[in-house]
Amino acid sequence: NAGVTQTPKFRVLKTGQSMTLLCAQDMNHEYMYWYRQDPGMGLRLIHYSVGEGTTAKGEVPDGYNVSRLKKQNFLLGLESAAPSQTSVYFCASSSSLSRSYEQYFGPGTRLTVT
Amino acid sequence: RKEVEQDPGPFNVPEGATVAFNCTYSNSASQSFFWYRQDCRKEPKLLMSVYSSGNEDGRFTAQLNRASQYISLLIRDSKLSDSATYLCVVNRDDKIIFGKGTRLHILP
């Protein structure tokens, strides 16, 4: 099993450009998440999904959109990138939202917006 | 007040020593608790869950104090490979809150 994979690993964008980050998991997990991690800020939840076809906003959703058309994939889109979106983006998945669960993270995407 | 707070460190500890750090949470309705480990430039990985009765996994011991609203992580006989950032994670009403992490450096 590959676990959680993310594409691409690195990307540099100019302000105003758009891009899509792809997350894929092969563990048949229902729940998937997108986080961003910035120095001194910790992990912050952008959007999450509790199943195929469903998405919900997290703590910092502005400037991002997501889609979960297939259970194994969770896409994060930036329509018009801004320098404030320079960050490391992590995707994660879990089998449930029950009390004892584990989130499995992908290796991250390092995005720089100039 | 932030919902989950950790001392950012760094904790610089000689190899073989014992080190402990705490994480405080503000919401008494928090239901479950975890420690994650994150190596430099890598993704977070679950280290251990934290139970009310306390739990041990090899050199690692986690404790929960609901009355004072904190969890702790104790590492005995520390190894160079223990150098990492340790993230405290709290689950409340299906909401997951990550602490900013405590950096640990084990010195040879």
- Is the Cβ pair B100, A106 closer than 8 Å? no
Share of chain B above pLDDT 70, in %: 100
What confidence tens digit (pLDDT) does each residue in B29-77 have?
Answer: 888 899 999 999 999 999 998 988 889 999 999 999 999 999 999 999 9
pLDDT at A99: 46
pLDDT at B30: 83
User: Which residue is listed with tokens 């223990």?
Assistant: B82
Which residue, B106, B81, B104, is CA-closest to B14? B106
What confidence tens digit (pLDDT) does each residue in A50-63 have?
Answer: 899 999 999 999 99
B93 shares contact with chain A (CB less than 8 Å): no
B39 shares contact with chain A (CB less than 8 Å): no
Is the pLDDT at A67 greater than 80? The verdict is yes
pLDDT at B106: 97
Which residue, B21, B55, B7, B83, is CA-closest to A100? B55
A35: chain B residues, CB-CB within 8 Å: 98
**Closest residue in chain A to residue B43, using alpha carbons only:** A107
Question: Which of A11-15, A92-96, B73-77 comes out lowest in average pLDDT?
Answer: A92-96
pLDDT band at A97 (very low <50, low <70, confident <90, very high): low
**Closest residue in chain B to residue A96, using alpha carbons only:** B94
**Burial class, A74, CB count within 10 angstroms (exposed 0-12 / middle 13-18 / buried 19+):** buried
- Is the Cβ pair A108, B91 closer than 8 Å? no
| Cα B80 from Cα A66, distance rounded (Å) | 40
Question: Please, which residues bridge with residue B55 across strands?
Answer: B62
Average pLDDT over residues A19-31: 95
> How far A11 CA sits from the closest chain B CA (Å)?
15
What confidence tens digit (pLDDT) does each residue in B12-32 have?
Answer: 999 999 999 999 999 888 888
> How far A60 CA sits from the closest chain B CA (Å)?
13
Average pLDDT over residues B66-90: 96
- Is the Cβ pair B100, A41 closer than 8 Å? yes
pLDDT band at A98 (very low <50, low <70, confident <90, very high): low
B46: chain A residues, CB-CB within 8 Å: 102-103
- Is the Cβ pair A99, B100 closer than 8 Å? no
- Is the Cβ pair A41, B87 closer than 8 Å? no
Asked if residue B102 lies in contact with residue B22, where contact means CB atoms within 8 angstroms, the answer is: no
Share of chain A above pLDDT 90, in %: 84
Looking at every residue in chain A, the average pLDDT score rounds to 93
Q: Which residues of B16-34 are buried (b: 16+ CB within 10 A; e: fewer)?
A: eeebebbbbbeeeebebbb
